[in-house]
Amino acid sequence: MKENVNHIFNLVNKELERQRNSIELIASENFTSLQVMQAMGTVLTNKYAEGYPGKRYYGGCEVVDEIETIAIQNLKKIFNINWANVQPHSGSQANAAVFLSCIKPGDKILGLDLTMGGHLTHGSPANFSGKNHQALFYGLNRDTGLVDYQMLEQTALQQKPKMIICGGSAYSRDWDYKLIREIADKIGAVVLADIAHTAGLIASGLLNDPFEHCHIVTSTTHKTLRGPRGGVIMLRHDFENPWGIKDNKGQLRTMSQLLDLALFPGVQGGPLEHVIAAKAIAFEEVLQNDFKVYSNQIISNAQTMSGAFTERGYNLISGGTDNHLMLVDLRNKNLTGKKAQEALEKANITLNKNTIPFDDKSPFITSGIRLGVPAITTRGLKEMEILKVVDLVDRVLTNADNETEIKLVRKEVLSFMQEFPLYPELYFRQFS
Ligand code: DSN
């Protein structure tokens, strides 16, 4: 038993070393503060608290009530909103609750195609969203790489979906939430904005504000928000639901009531109060002035990176980025996304292969890679260092079959990342 437990802690330390020694370019990852991490490893993990603050199904909830209330208050301050639910275990659970509260099985939904940068929970046939609903998709314009709002409008007017979803996981441009709402109003559809990727940048006022136009907003908390893994559901205005949606007792409810009920008991059981404590701390960090400095640096780093790749002859979908990520089309480099990901991994550079719009390759192979800068920005890399990162990535991609060159790049990555210490004091001790 002891050996097996220690083996796990050894593996945790191994992962710590992997993170320390890599250039992390996965657009959806980040490094939390030590405080955020510490909150997750506390006695709060022992507590059952089904229900919501003040209305729980278990005794002994007075402390977690206080913690969850602080998390909610902090989140409300960040986005200037009236209501929030901080219990979703993930962005997918948050979206599942929105679906459960607003639409019925079989209803039509309209989201950005996954192969064009959308998300599994926006209607993919492999996901509950596409299995339980009639999923329709809009895409990107082939020439510009931008969301094809004309296609979105035409599909919406013809098909009359009950819900329009905006937001994605590999789209590097900002969204026209106002236009989407105008289209939705013509057919009486609910607009869900999933800001999982860009929440931190929106919190810092650097991207369009979805809250004024979209009925419901969901997010994860671990990407640009730099919190623990988890999700949230938010409303700026808690509206009387205009669609006359009733709860399972046939009672008319406001949206916040329906969403609370949909998440618990509809989708989830007991909330993860240790993660909610970590969310409360992360949200406190977002409220500090230096978070805005961090978000500005993300955008500047992403633009520096996209400019440098373009100068080196890489084709970027939409020609660049407004946010923290970019999508590179590797077809002119005679490389697949899979090959690129694997070669880079050997050099301790982590990112993911990604389909590009109108890709002729499968999601297991792909013609592109997605790169994001939130994690390396947290580690302290600025514009000058971003140029070095681009150089290292380019060297691997132009020598993808040259093991000697890849080894040389790996050596450089190891010494380069030592200049940006990650959790220097941290070590997960073994138990005797
Ligand atoms: N898997 C996440 C991403 O990488 O974007 C989205 O859920």
CA distance 342 to 364: 12
Question: Is the CB of 169 inside a 6 Å radius of any atom of ligand 1?
Answer: yes
pLDDT digits (tens, 9 = 90+) for 68-105: 999 999 999 999 999 999 999 999 999 999 999 999 99
Question: What b/e string do you get for 260-278 counting C-beta neighbours within 10 Å, with b at 16 or more?
Answer: bbbbbebbbeebbbbbbbb
* 169 Cα to the center of ligand 1, angstroms: 6
Phi, psi of 306 (to 5 degrees): -65, -40
Whats the size of the chain, residue-wise? 432
User: Among 26, 28, 218, which is best to mutate for testing ligand 1, by the most ligand atoms less than 8 A from CB?
Assistant: 28
Q: What are the catalytic residues?
A: 48, 50, 194, 220, 223, 229
Atom 3 of ligand 1, nearest CA residue: 28
Query: Is there an atom of ligand 1 within 6 Å of 306 CB?
Result: no
Q: What is the pTM of this model?
A: 0.97
User: DSSP secondary structure string, 70-138?
Assistant: HHHHHHHHHHT-SEEE---SSHHHHHHHHHHHH--TT-EEEEE-GGGT--GGGT-TTSHHHHSSEEEEE
In the reported structure, the alpha carbon of residue 53 is separated from the centroid of ligand 1 by a whole-number distance in angstroms of 30
18 CA distance to ligand 1 centroid (A)?
Answer: 20
Strand partners, 316: 328
How far from each other are the two terminal CA atoms of the chain, in whole angstroms? 11
Distance 28 CA to ligand 1 centre (A): 6
Q: What are phi and psi of 116, to 5 degrees?
A: -110, 10
Q: Measured between alpha carbons, how far is residue 135 from residues 76, 123, 154, 176 in Å?
A: 32, 5, 15, 21
Number of Cβ within 10 Å of residue 147's Cβ equals: 25
SS3 content of the chain, % helix, strand, coil (to 5): 45, 15, 40
DSSP for 18-48? Answer: HHHTSEE--TT-----HHHHHHHTSGGGG--
> Closest Cα partner for 50 from 41, 37, 40, 60?
60
Task: State the pLDDT confidence band at 129, using cuts at 50, 70 and 90.
Answer: very high
Considering the chain, tell me which residue range(s) the CATH 3.90.1150.10 domain(s) occupy. 290-417
CB of 30 closer than 6 A to ligand 1? Answer: no
Distance 198 CA to ligand 1 centre (A): 12
Q: Record the tokens describing residue 206, joined without a space.
A: 């650097």
Look at residue 25 in the predicted model and tell me its pLDDT.
Answer: 98
Binned at pLDDT 50, 70 and 90, residue 250 comes out as confident
What was the pLDDT predicted at 196?
A: 98
Confidence of residue 110 (pLDDT cuts 50, 70, 90): very high
Distance separating alpha carbons of residues 62 and 65, to the nearest angstrom: 5
Q: What is the mean pLDDT of the chain?
A: 96
* Mean pLDDT (whole number) for 387-398: 98
CB of residue 28 inside a 6 A radius of ligand 1: yes
Q: pLDDT value at position 428? A: 80
pLDDT value, residue 68? 98
The pLDDT assigned to 245 comes to 73
DSSP characters over 269-299: SS--HHHHHHHHHHHHHHTSHHHHHHHHHHH
Taking only the tens place, the pLDDT of each residue in 311-324 is 999 999 999 999 99
Q: What is the pLDDT of residues 186-201, one digit of tens each?
A: 999 999 999 999 999 9
Closest C-alpha to ligand 1, atom 5: 169
Q: Report the alpha-carbon distance of residue 224 to residue 377 in Å, rounded.
A: 10
Q: Which atom of ligand 1 is nearest to the CA of 29?
A: 4
Look at residue 159 in the predicted model and tell me its pLDDT.
98
Q: Where in the chain is the domain with CATH 3.40.640.10?
A: 37-286
CATH 2.40.128.20 for domain 290-417 = no
Ligand 1 nearest atom to the CA of residue 220, by list position: 7
Per CATH, which fold does 37-286 belong to?
Aspartate Aminotransferase; domain 2 (3.40.640)
C-alpha distances (whole Å) from 82 to each of 52, 195, 237, 270 are 16, 17, 6, 24
The pLDDT of residue 251: 84
